[in-house]
Amino acid sequence: KNRFTANAVTSTCCYCGVGCGVVVNKEKNGTITLQGDAEHPVNKGMLCSKGMNLHYTVNDKSDRLLYPQMRYNKSMPMQQVSWDEALERTAAVFKTFIDKYGPDSVAFYASGQCLTEEYYVVNKLMKGFIGSNNLDTNSRLCMSSAVVAYKTALGEDSVPLCYDDIELANCFYIMGGNPAWCHPILWRRVEAHKAANPNAKIIVVDPRVTDTCAIADLHLQINPGTDITLNHAIGRLLIENGDIDIDFINNHAEGFEQYSTIVFQKTLAEAANICGLSESSIRLAAKYIGEAKGFITMWTMGLNQSAIGVNKNLSLINLNLITGHIGKPGSGPLSLTGQPNAMGGREVGGLANLLPAHRNLNNPLHREEVQKFWGGTAIQPKPGLTATEMFEALNDGRLKAIWIMCTNPLTSLPNVRLAEEALKKAKFVVLQEISNKPETLAYADVILPAAAWAEKEGTMTNSERRISYLNKIIDPPGEALPDAEIICRFARKMGYKGFDFENPAAIYAEHVKLTAKTNIDISGLNYEILKEQKTVQWPYKKKSLQKGTPRLFTDKQFYTPSAKAVISPVEDTLTSEKPDDDFPFILTTGRIRDQWHTMSKTGKVNKLNQHYKQAFLEIHPDDAIILQLNDGDITVVTSRRGEVQVQAKLTSQIKRGVVFLPMHWGKILNNDLNRANNITSDQVDPISKEPDFKYCAVNLQKY
């Protein structure tokens, strides 16, 4: 049961895409405490280590930016200025670049941690008024491969199922994810379900033995990059065993013939050899899936962050389609969103190739519709620069100014030293941020202090299309302002009409109007309903829907032109940087249990820093012996792009020939040798433009 005090209000954890509810108590001294919301449909009172300690990050104001700062040229020190001064100068500089070089000379780089209302106004400003599509977010580094795959397979960027399907499934196939650490509360539900139903089968596909494997019936310790080969081999076995849904394939899907041709191109023995698995283990996986009455596939960055991320996603979704496990209880593909509101961002069109309500930039009718609604300038058909392209464009001078909000690119971008060079060359950098820690601050010309979680109101959408309302609980420190307010004030300084919103509810009201008659229609929704219901799942066309729409495609009508799901016969050629004599190991990167992204919030919490105090390199003991590396030895890890120096952590839980680095650490006191992204590859998937964080060639040496 919730323990409400008179000052308690509900909110949503702002870390991962699971979207757990919290009850926040405002104490008399102005600090907050919190607990899991026992009445919340997602977490039913549970919180993971990060969520449990969320209040510390808000109560500790020691690193907070408190007032706007500015410098007139790069050699001058920053000085405190008023909001008007900071925004007027920024508007003047933006106008100068736009007049001289055109609207594409400026860009906004935002974040999957922004609230939906914040995304909405920055998207409207950039695409509808400045007249450029250079608005991308760090969701490009996270979910963009899954977005393309959903659109291709289902006709819409739409997760078809809900978390309540977990308790109705009897086979789970988890590929390229470690939800026990990265989506813990969702995984607790799978664990509880498995404990109550021991016959439910859990298959985990990962080159590392992770905590997720603890309850697995089958762990397929695959060679990195061979996911498509494995999925095709399983597809072939399902066809051979007659474990496919012929009725679904014939009446509700297309592409099966080409698919079966491609999956029969390799024998099981060939596929097993490529994947580094036994034939019997692949047969067992196919048996578990074939026998399932409810089958859920789950995945996250191991599939998305790849040079072939879209194809990896499609090969996985194909398994749901050929077995007909979609649009019915306990079944479907469930992509686990990395960030709390990546989905909300996409709903308002917050990527360089999107328009509001999942409209397409390349559709002239969609552009006209949105332009008329906003009343601004004509929307350009050319997609804007994506996350990594923005930094390339700063490097070669095409882009003059960048406005970075709510993200820390100098830790999180691939081949990050190149991004650092780009920011050095940028003519003008605006940074909208809560903390004085991120290394990006050193390159800023204007610093705008933003309100943090619990200091502003708005909405977010989690991995199961669940929209939740976040209360404002305390005031932001100093002169910090909510991100949406900052963007609206700037838009007004630019002279644009349509940014006089009275409050976030008014922004939301405008957003929901734009969704009317689209596949993600939430035109029946407003803040009052959200406050009353706490959460609803889209679509939500009218109030009578109560809690929204938990499951899509129950009528087997998909959003494609033919209304059929598309089974894609994807190639399984890996295009990533391959190991060779100079760089013989494969590097993969990922998260640890108690840290979040670049640690600007979780790094403030002592308890969370106890799990791992510094970055490390996981390496198999048999590889370590050859390199004469002992546990704890400083290891120099080099790639074609740079180097990292961290302690070796010997573990037989990683495959030989593969090494693992956590992605959280950045530059500490001018030392960047903990930073995994010094060495990661900036190759991207050609369609989704998502970087290949999980696969590049490295060399190792004892320091």
Write out the residues near ligand SF4 by the rule CB under 6 A. Answer: 13, 15-16, 18-20, 43, 47-48, 50-51, 183-185
Using the minimum distance from each CB to ligand SF4, give the nearer residue, 211 or 421: 211
Which lies closer to ligand SF4 via its Cβ, residue 180 or residue 322?
A: 180
Please identify, using beta-carbon distances, which residue of 323 and 602 lies nearer to ligand SF4. 602
Q: Which backbone phi and psi does 53 adopt, to 5 degrees?
A: -105, 15
Instruction: Indicate the Cα dihedral angle 143, 206, 16, 146, nearest 10°.
Output: 20
- 526: nearest Cα among 536, 518, 517: 536
CB 236, min distance to ligand SF4, A:
36
How far apart CA 549 and CA 64 sit, in angstroms, is: 39
DSSP string for 50-83: HHHTHHHHHH--TTB--S-EE-SSTTSPPEE--H
Q: Residue 671's closest CA among 643, 637, 631?
A: 643
User: CA–CA separation, 235 vs 567, rounded Å?
Assistant: 11
Amino acid 506 reads: A
Supply the minimum distance, in Å, between the C-beta of residue 594 and ligand SF4.
10
d(CA 622, CA 585): 13
Residue whose C-alpha is closest to residue 480's, from 447, 504, 457 = 447
- Cα angle at 92 between 89 and 97, to 5 degrees? 130
- Cα 48 vs. chain centroid, distance in angstroms? 18
- With respect to ligand SF4, which residue has the nearer C-beta, 15 or 501? 15
Q: Which is nearer to ligand SF4, 128 or 177 (CB)?
A: 177
> Which of 177/384 has CB closer to ligand SF4?
177
Q: Give every CB contact of residue 560 below 8 A, 6+ residues apart in sequence.
A: 154, 155, 566
**What is the per-residue DSSP string for 121-171?**
HHHIIIIIII----EEEGGGGTTHHHHHHHHHHHSSS-----GGGGGG-SE
Taking CB atoms, the residue at the shortest distance from ligand SF4 is 51
Q: Cβ 467 to ligand SF4, closest distance in Å?
A: 15
CB of 47 to ligand SF4, least distance (A): 4
Token code pair at residue 318:
């194909």
Q: Minimum distance from CB of 184 to ligand SF4 (Å)?
A: 5
Rounding to the nearest 10 degrees, give the CA dihedral for residues 148, 153, 156, 159: -90
We find the least distance from the C-beta atom of residue 529 to ligand SF4, in angstroms, to be: 22
Please tell me the chain's helix, strand, coil percentages from 3-state DSSP, rounded to the nearest 5: 35, 20, 45
| Cβ closest to ligand SF4, residue 449 vs residue 603 | 603
As measured in angstroms, the least distance from the Cβ of 182 to ligand SF4 is 8
Which of 303, 298, 334 is CA-nearest to residue 225? 303
Task: Indicate the residue among 20 and 308 with the shorter CB distance to ligand SF4.
Answer: 20
CB of 479 to ligand SF4, least distance (A): 29
Output the six-digit token pair for 117: 């209302």
Residue number, 2 or 701, with CB nearest to ligand SF4:
2
Q: Which of residues 89 and 183 has its CB atom nearest to ligand SF4 in the complex?
A: 183
Least distance CB 695 / ligand SF4 (angstroms): 26
Q: Is 649 left (phi over 0), alpha (psi -120 to 50) or beta?
A: beta
Q: Which is nearer to ligand SF4, 345 or 349 (CB)?
A: 345
CB of 138 to ligand SF4, least distance (A): 17
Helix (H) or strand (E) holding 173: strand 171-175
Residue 554, SS3 per DSSP? coil
CB of residue 13 vs ligand SF4: minimum separation in angstroms? 3
